[in-house]
Structure formats: structure tokens, C-alpha cells
Amino acid sequence: MSERTTEGDEPAGTAGGSRVVHSRAADRDDGTRLSIAVVEAVAEAKGVEPVEMSETLYGTVDPDALDRLFTERGDEEFAGRVVFELGAHEVTVQSNGDVLVRQVEPR
């Protein structure tokens, strides 16, 4: 499902205090909603199960809008990304369906 790496694409760890989870769209089952992939990637970055997360995706971004933004465009080519923070993590969703989750420093 996801591959956990550090900033330099080395094996999982906390090098420099940064944990990164990269969930590749090509590795997910067809039909997996993008919003679900985001929740699973953030949960993996936190080291918890998705149902154990204290933050909710819908508290930050509309999950249905996120699903429609990049997945319901038909044959139309569209390149872009959406970046938002969910708790202590920065989430980047690419137009190809890839999800990148980075732990951010507390403010």
C-alpha cells in the first residue's frame, strides 16, 4: 500500500526527525478513493490505525471534493497538487493520485 521513507528515500526511520510516507497510486487497488488513501497514509506516518487518529480529514478538507478534484476528470489532462496540513503532518496530493505525507515541526 505505502512505502515509508525518509527525506533522502532511504529506508524508514526518523533521520533528522522527519518521517515521510509516500503512497503511490499505482500500488493501490483500483477504486480506492483518494481521500481514503490520504487517511491511510497519514495514519501510517503517525504509526496508528486510521480509526485511532484524533484528527479528521473532513475537519481540514472536504473528502468528496478531494476525490473529485483529480479522479473524476475523464480524459482531460490535468496536472497539479493540493497541499494541506492535517495535525502535525503536511499532506501533498498529486494529480496522478500519489500522496506524500511529511511530519512537520510544531509551531
- So what's the pLDDT on residue 63? 94
First to last CA, the chain: 31
Please give the average pLDDT of every successive group of 10 residues along the chain, which has 107 residues. 42 50 87 92 91 92 90 69 93 92 81
- Cα separation, 22 vs 79, whole angstroms: 18
Look up cell 525518509; give the residue.
6
Residue with cell 505505502: 2
What would the grid cell of residue 1 be? 500500500
Strands of 3-5's sheet, edge to edge?
A: 3-5, 20-23, 99-103, 89-94, 81-86
Flag whether the pTM goes above 0.75: yes
Q: Where are the domains of the chain?
A: 3-103
